[in-house]
A and B are shown apart, each in its own frame.
Chain A
Amino acid sequence: MTTKSNSQSGASRRDFLVLTTTALGAVGTASLIYPFISSMNPSADVLAMATVDIDVSPVAVGQAITVMWRGKPVFIRHRTEAEIKEARDVNMSTLIDPQADAERTTYKPEWLIVVGICTHLGCVPLGQKPSDPHGQYGGWFCPCHGSQYDTSGRVRVGPAPTNLEVPVYKFLTDTTVRIGSEI
């Protein structure tokens, strides 16, 4: 619209107005969109359920329990001496995702706590009950695609790429564990 006959100041004034209006509109729109996106994040009541406290005193040696944490199963296994030994003596170079058992059982070696979700595509591996298949490494066996985990929850046979995840947890007392928080 602006022709050369228009004064230079007139043209720059129009440009300035268009630019500032556009910039203000963009900032305004972005700040309006933010709460909408944020509203889809976990709400306060979901976050309030982000930790669970579990009494593990009834779990005898050799037993395992499954608890719900953030909508997912968590395996808590009271390991036997043999299982601990098996997990600790393994040759690290044979592991798909090498990690020492001591790093995965930070409180006491007999308590193994892992998220019970196969790292392949999210199925729940079998192996919590004595009658379940445990795979050839004495841990868990995923019925979906055949991944096998050892007594430390480490993947030994694919296709799963990584070990079962160890959640953040802390033993509040000798028999109570809080999953989801280190405090």
Chain B
Amino acid sequence: MTQNEKKPSGVIGWIDERLPIFWFLNKELLEYPTPKNLNYMWNFGSLAGITLVVMIATGIFLAMHYTPHVDYAFNSVEHIMRDVNYGWLIRYIHMNGASIFFIIVYIHMFRGMYYGSYKRPRELLWILGVIIFLIMMATGFMGYVLPWGQMSFWGATVITNLFSVIPFFGESIVQWLWGGFSVDNPTLNRFFALHYLLPFVIIGVVCLHLVALHMFGSNNPLGVEKKKKEDTLPFHPYYTAKDLFGLGVLVTIWGFFVFFSPNFFGEPDNYIPADPLVTPQHIVPEWYYLPFYAILKSVPNKAMGVALMFSSIFILFVLPWLDTSPVKSARFRPLYKYFFWVFVIACFALGWSGGQPPEGLPVWIGRLSTTYYFAFFLVVLPLLGRYERPLPLPESISHPNLQRRKADG
């Protein structure tokens, strides 16, 4: 380690003296001290970053062949699929990549919640992550409109109409979003422009996310801060290798969908060109919006449903202050652990109910899960900090077992 302290010479030294990028890369990517006990749950940040890069790369190449016009959009996507060399491959990577991206980010978020990674001093890190998630949702939604199939069109219609519940200005805002009196060519054009722009905004927020992360470094499965050098490992080669392995697994899964089941996550109706006169029998958003869509559907009042749906996302911003327990990792929170897993189940139940026709049992499961979703944040988390008796925390990352044995004995 000490030999890294001395200044590099030659061309690298010359550049470093004027623009310290090599010093920076060494400090933040190679030497960067990282808790030595990170498990595979900590792979998902780097995986999300790589997925973002792949999405941007494939997206740029798709944009070279796509035409954002109501008369040509659907056919230009078919042109990509049939005529453009490897167009099918690039589109399927991009299409499945959206689902893969959300899977990764959802796991990343659940990881943060299980191990309390949003707690002091990482509140802003968490908030920046929620901002990324919000922009991702907007980007994914607008991307889904671009092929201009039936689901594109009616999804766009339903989601933009959500804004009509805003008092007084609702109607004008919706017309402003559309650039007309219905979802039409101006809507498609601006969605394309924004779908191209927002991923670069995400990159910007990701950079802030990384700056905030590197202030205190990663949290870890024990949830106790690293104290000594013995608690850490240099990021390279230990975590570059571990992340690379995770990348291999990701690429295998992604590749499986691209090559063997490319339309697994999609809706067949989106291969029917958009028709403003016919709504599909059963319209559903992409699977990654279903939990939020279920919250919308579970309330029989338009304004309340929309308000609750947006609240379900915005509540994540205040999570660091709703959770009053000073203990980070669920390993040492005997009660939180169970409430957390029920929360995960509730999210899956919401996802399921969101994809069902809005009648009978799914509605009630949706309502029950919605109730738990909000109760978890607004009742369980504030109270648990008060009444839960956490297990004794380890003294440090390097001495977890010693402490636990003492506690047992």
Contact = CB atoms under 8 A, between A and B. Distances in A.
Nearest to B54: A32
A38 interface: yes
Contact of B87 (A21, A39, A46): A39
Interface string A79-120: 000000000000000000000000000000000000000000
Interface string A142-157: 0000000000000000
Interface string A34-54: 011011110111100000000
The 3 A-B pairs with the shortest beta carbon distances in the complex, nearest first, are A35-B86, A44-B83, A43-B83
Contacts of A40: 61, 64
A39 B90 contact: yes
B84 A43 contact: yes
Contacts of A45: 79, 83
Contacts of A36: 57, 61, 86, 90
A36 B86 CA distance: 7
Interface in A24-40: 35-36, 38-40
A36 B79 CA distance: 16
Interface of B: 57, 61, 64-65, 79, 82-87, 89-90, 244
Instruction: Bin the interface of chain A by size.
Output: 10 to 19
Contacts of B89: 35
A36 B80 CA distance: 12
Nearest to B60: A36
B82 A44 contact: yes
Contacts of B65: 39, 43
B64 A39 contact: yes
A38 B86 CA distance: 7
5 contacts: A40-B64, A43-B85, A44-B82, A44-B85, A46-B83
B83 A41 contact: no
A43 B61 contact: no
Interface of B is mostly: helix
A35 B65 CA distance: 14
B83 A35 contact: no
A38 B83 CA distance: 12
Nearest to B90: A39
A14 to B, nearest CB: 10
Contacts of A38: 85-86
A39 B83 contact: no
Nearest to B251: A28
Contact of A41 (B57, B61, B85): B85
Interface string A6-31: 00000000000000010000000000
B92 to A, nearest CB: 11
Given A36-B57, A39-B64, A44-B84, 12 more contacts: A35-B85, A35-B90, A36-B86, A38-B86, A39-B84, A39-B85, A39-B86, A39-B87, A40-B61, A43-B87, A44-B83, A44-B85
Contacts of B86: 35-36, 38-39
B112 to A, nearest CB: 30
Contacts of B85: 35, 38-39, 41, 43-44
Contacts of B57: 36
Contacts of B84: 39, 43-44
Nearest to A47: B83
Nearest to A25: B244
B158 to A, nearest CB: 33
A43 B90 CA distance: 14
Nearest to A35: B86
Contacts of A44: 82-85
Contacts of A43: 65, 79, 83-85, 87
Contacts of B90: 35-36, 39
A39 B79 contact: no
B82 A39 contact: no
B151 to A, nearest CB: 25
Contacts of B61: 36, 39-40
Contacts of B83: 43-46
A40 B89 CA distance: 13
B51 to A, nearest CB: 14
Nearest to A33: B57
Contacts of A46: 83
Contacts of A41: 85
Nearest to B87: A39
A46 B65 CA distance: 12
B245 to A, nearest CB: 10
Nearest to A46: B83
Among B57, B84, B87, B89, chain A packs the most CB atoms within 10 A around the CB of: B84
A41 B86 CA distance: 10
Nearest to B247: A25
A89 to B, nearest CB: 49
